[in-house]
Amino acid sequence: MLALIGTVLAVQANFYRVRLDQTFCLDLLDESGKTYSQFIDELLCTRRARLKKIGQQICVGDRVTIEEPDWHGKRGAISEVDPRRNLLDRPTVANVDRILLVFALAEPNLDPHQLSRFLVKAESTQVEVLLCLNKRDLVSDQVWDDWRDRLTLWGYPPIAISTYNNQGIEELAQHLQTGVTVVAGLSGVGKSSLINLLIPNLQVRVGEVSQRLGHGRHTTRHVELFALAAGGYLADTPGFMQPNLTVTPQELADCFPEARQRLAAGDLCHFNNCLHRRDEPDCVVRGDWERYEHYCAYLEEAIVYQQKLKNTTNADASVKVKDTSDGKQQQEPRLLKKRYRRESRRSEHQNLDYDEEQ
């Protein structure tokens, strides 16, 4: 039995498009019986019933084993899923090696608060973070120098690119030659245009920036991996405005390179459970670094998130916590399904037999 290894490129309904690790040159027969050669490196696959029965989900980026391929129909069946090194939840991509954050220097203008939030979210995944700034052709050298120096102090030396005149594209491509890279950022910053340059002839649909709203329209509707000619994969993701921060207060400092640098210098905070607030004594993290205000704002969100996790874990079985439209939480009674579930016929027969014996 022939078993093939490959990477899931896309998930569409109950089908999985898988790129094989090697290309096969096969001699096939057409309808008239004539032999022809065909190179095959992708298969459209289904999931074995056994995987469905055990609840094994298959995500973009998964490494899978395919059995009994139908070469003529370019079909196959996924029989195994390798253990994942990691799994991003938004977007859902497995075995990610780095996150490429794409922001624009202009149209839309670069907002430091939005950028900082994306960086913290990317850091929370514990994978490498690479930052590039598009539309370099729309700003002066002084504006670029100011942003480059500023972001370098944050811990993210940016790569300047322009999808209009191809500036910086080759430099960026050298960082993406291995592994899986997830491309993320606001809508309208040029993610799809960048992918079209990195992967010629792909022609990902490109959108325009809304003049009224000041940001782009969504052009990517689902997650998909694209193979790079020099190696590696790119995962284009739907653009979104505000990524949710899902870190605890104790984890938040690790999402700031500035804080990590201060903690790694050797000095320790006075208290082991220090959250690095403004009023905590002898804190080595608190200081005049630019994003400390961002840290304090995100800390409040992290505290709320931790409390939400605690409520979910320790809530009484008859009560559930629900988020309201105004951002608050309220408790509602939980319906007990067993009370409304019809008793099985087997149980009914057992009860009848017991009553007859009595």
Q: Is the pLDDT of residue 229 over 70?
A: yes
Mean model confidence pLDDT for the chain: 83
Give the Cα separation of 178 and 180 in Å (integer): 7
Mean pLDDT of 318-347: 57
**Each residue's pLDDT tens digit, 125-138:** 999 999 999 999 99
Picking from 119-128, 255-264, 306-315, 343-352, which range would have the lowest pLDDT averaged per residue?
343-352
- pLDDT category of residue 356 using cuts at 50, 70 and 90: very low
Q: Is the pLDDT of residue 346 over 90?
A: no
CB 161 within 8 A of CB 175: no
CB 191 within 8 A of CB 220: yes
DSSP class of residue 97 equals -
**Each residue's pLDDT tens digit, 249-284:** 999 999 999 999 999 887 788 898 899 999 889 999
pLDDT of residue 210: 41
Domains of the chain: 3-83 (2.40.50.140), 88-236 (3.40.50.300), 249-332 (1.10.40)
Residue 313's CB is within 10 A of a number of other CB atoms, namely 7
Secondary structure of 14-53 in HEC code, one letter for each residue: CEEEEEEEEEEEEEEECCCCCEEEEEEEEEEEEECHHHHH
Q: Is the pLDDT of residue 209 over 50?
A: no
Give the H/E segment covering residue 100: strand 98-104
pLDDT of residue 72: 77
| pTM as predicted | 0.77
pLDDT of residue 200: 81
- pLDDT category of residue 212 using cuts at 50, 70 and 90: very low
Q: Is the pLDDT of residue 87 over 90?
A: yes
Q: Is the pLDDT of residue 340 over 60?
A: no
CB 136 within 8 A of CB 214: no
